Structure 1
Amino acid sequence: MPDQRLNYVDGEWTDSHTGETFETTDPATPGEVVATYPQSDAEDTERAIEAARDASEEWRETPAPERGRILRQAGATLERRRDELTELLVREEGKTRTEAGGEVQRAIDIFHYYGAKASDLGGTVKSSSARDVNLYTTNEPLGVVGLITPWNYPIAIPAWKLAPALATGNAVVIKPATLAPGVVHEMARALEEAGLPAGALNVVTGPGSAVGDTLAGHEAVDAVSFTGSTAVGNTVYDTATADGKRVQLEMGGKNPTVVSRTADPEEAADIVAAGAFGVTGQACTATSRAVVHEDVYDEFVDAIVDRAASIDHGHGLDDPGMGPHVSESELESTLEYVDVAQGEGATLEYGGSALDREGHFVEPAVFSDVDSEMRLAQEEVFGPVLAVIPVSDFDEALAVANDVDYGLAASVVTDDHTEANRFVREIEAGVVKINQKTTGLELHVPFGGVKDSSSETYREQGDAALDFYTISKTVYDTY
């Protein structure tokens, strides 16, 4: 029987005032309902915001080491329940067991990381030019923050927003994505069990047009952090900044891997395949363009086709090479881009068809003879579709890599250290990797993009996240 889940508002698990619900289903077996959730509206969201506002003073005044203890204890609870959370993530989002387990572990690590960081929160002491003045700074929470999170990393991304927000003393209202909200509920349960005060965290499920818009525009919300599409993110930004909110956006990507003439085509294919086809290509940092020197182009195309053809599909709990798309609409979007690419004249080297089986499965697709002006080379696909673009030299490779509106992640495969250094300097991306896939992030360093991939205001993760959720106060103390 499907789970019957509720909103979490002011320390209570409660239904929407409308009584309406929506369902999540298993992407590998779409007829199977996983859980039902409240279809919340603006009134439900306002009640959650009011609860956060009422709780913000108590949570703000809680000593930072105590806040850290609660986060670490919640992390320990998540760790004990790792297998259960992994299965829930697989059943709602569709990832393979290995992928989902890795994501759950990342959330656990994030809670422990920011739990430890909380004890070191503070300001700095500076020398004053006056003899009788103590000069120092303090860092204070913003107040109430709204978090709007996506379905593709349904526990990791909420964790890397939520943990630093709570560690720094903010009260939070979070709207998880409607396709896979279950693991956010389980994070709330872990924090509740750890002793988080009522109202310091509130979880409201429902459509972005009701819940998300209310969070972005409500006068009692001091900051908004959003991850999702560029189109929606820009709307959130306009709404939130209209009354001066602090805003952090992380959005789409069209991430390149440049394959140099010095690269081993087989090694390059391993790196690109992992970045392009992992998590069914449903990552904002996924490799969607391989920009390949003509001297190794043919060998690379043969090798990447071999990698794509070797991937097996199945239910994520069986831990295949690739799981399904999260929904029918995401599958249809990928198939549409396959048709568009063929219509533009790109050569379909492999795949690109829906599998003749139950579930939202698609073969990974490899296109060669792609021109940088094609839609396939310019627009985010968000599926396991790779465009392979030939170039004649490294100058052209850099120009092609930068010839998009996005700038999230980029990598280069090369044995030439001079090329690698130049790539770091000249590539227009917030995350740059050398001889690595574009996907995969360390939690203790900043994450974010440039151009249409980000608001270019604040970064996430590491100490950068603490900066976003706090404001500095400078104190001149005469004694």
Structure 2
Amino acid sequence: MNLKQQQYINGKWVDALSGNTREIINPFNQEVIAAVPEGDEADTKAAIAAARKAFDNGEWSETPATERGAIVRKIAELIERDKEELARLESLDTGKTVEESRGDMDDIAGVFRYYAELADKNGGELIDSPIPNSISRVVHEPVGVCGQITPWNYPLLQASWKLAPALATGNTLIMKPSEITPLTTIKVFELMEEAGVPAGVANLVLGAGSTVGAELSSNVDVDLISFTGGIVTGKKIMQAASANVKKLALELGGKNPNIIFADADFETAVDQALNGVFFHAGQICSAGTRLIVEESIHDEFVSALVERVKKFKLGSGFDEDTQMGPLISAEHRAKVEEYVETGIKEGATLAVGGSRPEDPELQNGFFYLPTIFTDCTTDMSIVQDEAFGPVITVEKFREEEEAVKLANDSVYGLAGGVWTNDIPKAERCVKKMRMGTVWINDFNLYFPHAPWGGFKQSGIGRELGKLGIEEYTETKHIFQNLKPEPVNWF
């Protein structure tokens, strides 16, 4: 494997200044798959200085937008060329199935292609001026130096959502991937170098959030922080970013409701309810972990879910029969186990799962059985808190208004779903649901040209779509008087 397992700062592949390294573990069997530099504040400051210099000298920001777009498009082509290697790395790093990782690579290439096409489509506009013989125009300029912090669950996908629009709009950047899943991000920086991204424009620092992330958030030479991750860390970043009133783009997770009406297509709703949660062992910010099921079909629906769940095939992501891989780490599995124990103490009924698998072949991995709780109510912490694992809570409702009220009873507002064949009813629900994305008769579908982000404590701003590119620009109004004359006020 020809992978540069180093940091990338100012156009050079480098080790950490401290010389420290971190071992990267395969969550399927705990084997060490790589050793990477463990950067800290000193590495981060060096990367920020490189990005600041590269932005201030204008080499990238003043490059014609069509040329920037061509380089971003080249990155997409290189991702497609190296799709199999990237998918393999992603599955080694995260434990997800290689089939899912291949699909991710297609989506990632699509994100770079989308923003490559938008690169020269944001030239500004002329607006009416109240003054004769004048020109009033609005232009969009790059924000500057961008700090980008990505999570461990979809390492390269989340990176693409940040890298592509930042590069297309002429910014410079420092990316910090999760310290436990950096391998595909390292590889894509190698591809960006091959595509012709100039030195200093895109920098990669590997290390912990407590050091690298904290420095990015507080350093006054960083103009924007884009972060995807947990709500607790997001609040710390907001506080640190106040040092120089940075722009913020935060996606902080969700506890996403999936409303199932009795008139929905039953089998499809069951299948999609499972798909909405158990991909990547439930480690998805948009997972539909709160099922809100109409009372008349509740028992039948739960029975159907349980029967399907009992047949899940857990195993290696490289086994074609595997449907669900392991959790990311021993620490994360312990958190999921604590969450399940809390649900039992709160009085929820454990319908299936709730333990580690007994299969001897799975004992070296961080596996946890798919789990369903019934008899859940919104006053339970398992209904309110994000488990980020293969756990579903099921609530009942009788009336449409009750379903919407339950769905909105959360500090989060990332995504939700409605299953019904009554489209006017679906539209009434969607209008009242306080979430950034709501699916009707689908779940967890996203694509590059649709914006992604949340209401309430699920975050600030949007990624993807045209709004995603706006996060990386500042809007400037320019007024030009073509025939200046004295005012004679004084």
Q: TM-score range by the shorter chain?
A: over 0.9
Q: Which residue matches 2:342?
A: 340
Q: Which residue matches 1:464?
A: 467
1:183 matched to 2:184: yes
1:427 matched to 2:429: no
Q: Which residue matches 1:444?
A: 449
Indicate how the Cα distance of structure 1 residues 200 and 4 shifts in structure 2: closer, same or farther if over 3 A, else same: closer
Q: Which residue matches 2:286?
A: 285
Q: Which residue matches 1:69?
A: 70
Q: Which residue matches 1:126?
A: 127
Q: Partner letter of residue 454 of structure 1?
A: G
1:128-183: CA deviation from partner (whole Å, max 9, x where unpaired): 33342122111111110100110111001110111101110000000000111111
1:51-81: CA deviation from partner (whole Å, max 9, x where unpaired): 0011112111111111111111111111100
Superposition TM-score, scaled by structure 1 size: 0.97
1:113 matched to 2:114: yes
Q: Which residue matches 2:486?
A: none
Question: Using the alignment, how far apart are the partners of 2:190 and 2:111 within structure 1?
Answer: 17
Question: Using the alignment, how far apart are the partners of 2:413 and 2:258 within structure 1?
Answer: 12
Asked if structure 2 preserves the Cα contact closer than 8 Å seen for 1:72 and 1:112, the reply is yes
Q: Partner letter of residue 95 of structure 2?
A: G
Q: Which residue matches 2:235?
A: 234
Query: Any stretches of 5+ residues in structure 1 without a counterpart?
Result: none
1:389 matched to 2:389: no
1:202-261: CA deviation from partner (whole Å, max 9, x where unpaired): 000001111000000001100100000000001001111232110111002110101112
1:97-146: CA deviation from partner (whole Å, max 9, x where unpaired): 12111111111111111111112221012233334212211111111010
1:217-232 residue pairs with structure 2 within 5 A? 217-232=218-233
Q: Partner letter of residue 409 of structure 1?
A: A
Asked if structure 1 preserves the Cα contact closer than 8 Å seen for 2:179 and 2:208, the reply is yes
Q: Which residue matches 1:169?
A: 170
Q: Partner letter of residue 376 of structure 1?
A: I
User: Residue 475 of structure 1: which of 461, 471, 478 is its match?
Assistant: 478
Segment of structure 1 superposing worse, 257-266 or 377-386: 257-266
Question: Using the alignment, how far apart are the partners of 2:333 and 2:389 within structure 1?
Answer: 8
1:36-435 residue pairs with structure 2 within 5 A? 36-56=35-55, 57-319=58-320, 320-356=322-358, 357=362, 358-435=364-441
Query: Any stretches of 5+ residues in structure 2 without a counterpart?
Result: 483-490
Question: Using the alignment, how far apart are the partners of 1:2 and 1:328 within structure 2?
Answer: 29
Segment of structure 1 superposing worse, 160-169 or 239-248: 239-248
Indicate how the Cα distance of structure 1 residues 4 and 187 shifts in structure 2: closer, same or farther if over 3 A, else same: closer
Give aligned pairs, total: 475
Q: Which residue matches 2:15?
A: 15
Question: Using the alignment, how far apart are the partners of 1:109 and 1:267 within structure 2?
Answer: 28
Query: How far off its partner does 1:343 sit?
Result: 1.6
RMSD over equivalenced CA pairs, Å:
1.4
Q: Which residue matches 1:35?
A: 34
Indicate how the Cα distance of structure 1 residues 347 and 2 shifts in structure 2: closer, same or farther if over 3 A, else same: farther
Question: Using the alignment, how far apart are the partners of 2:211 and 2:129 within structure 1?
Answer: 50
User: Percent identity between the aligned chains?
Assistant: 40
Asked if structure 1 preserves the Cα contact closer than 8 Å seen for 2:4 and 2:13, the reply is no
Q: Partner letter of residue 465 of structure 1?
A: G
Q: Partner letter of residue 21 of structure 2?
A: T
Query: How far off its partner does 1:84 sit?
Result: 0.3
Superposition TM-score, scaled by structure 2 size: 0.95
1:301-327: CA deviation from partner (whole Å, max 9, x where unpaired): 011112212210111111311011111
Asked if structure 1 preserves the Cα contact closer than 8 Å seen for 2:27 and 2:93, the reply is yes
Q: Partner letter of residue 329 of structure 1?
A: E
Asked if structure 1 preserves the Cα contact closer than 8 Å seen for 2:411 and 2:457, the reply is yes
1:22-41: CA deviation from partner (whole Å, max 9, x where unpaired): 011111011x1111111111
Question: Using the alignment, how far apart are the partners of 2:84 and 2:393 within structure 1?
Answer: 36
Question: Using the alignment, how far apart are the partners of 2:381 and 2:475 within structure 1?
Answer: 44
1:287-310: CA deviation from partner (whole Å, max 9, x where unpaired): 111001110101100111122122
Segment of structure 1 superposing worse, 464-473 or 259-268: 259-268
Question: Using the alignment, how far apart are the partners of 1:40 and 1:206 within structure 2?
Answer: 5
Asked if structure 1 preserves the Cα contact closer than 8 Å seen for 2:44 and 2:216, the reply is yes
Question: Using the alignment, how far apart are the partners of 2:122 and 2:377 within structure 1?
Answer: 50
1:375-411: CA deviation from partner (whole Å, max 9, x where unpaired): 1111100001001111122121111111111111000
Question: Using the alignment, how far apart are the partners of 1:434 and 1:85 within structure 2?
Answer: 33
Asked if structure 1 preserves the Cα contact closer than 8 Å seen for 2:4 and 2:186, the reply is no
Query: How far off its partner does 1:2 sit?
Result: 11
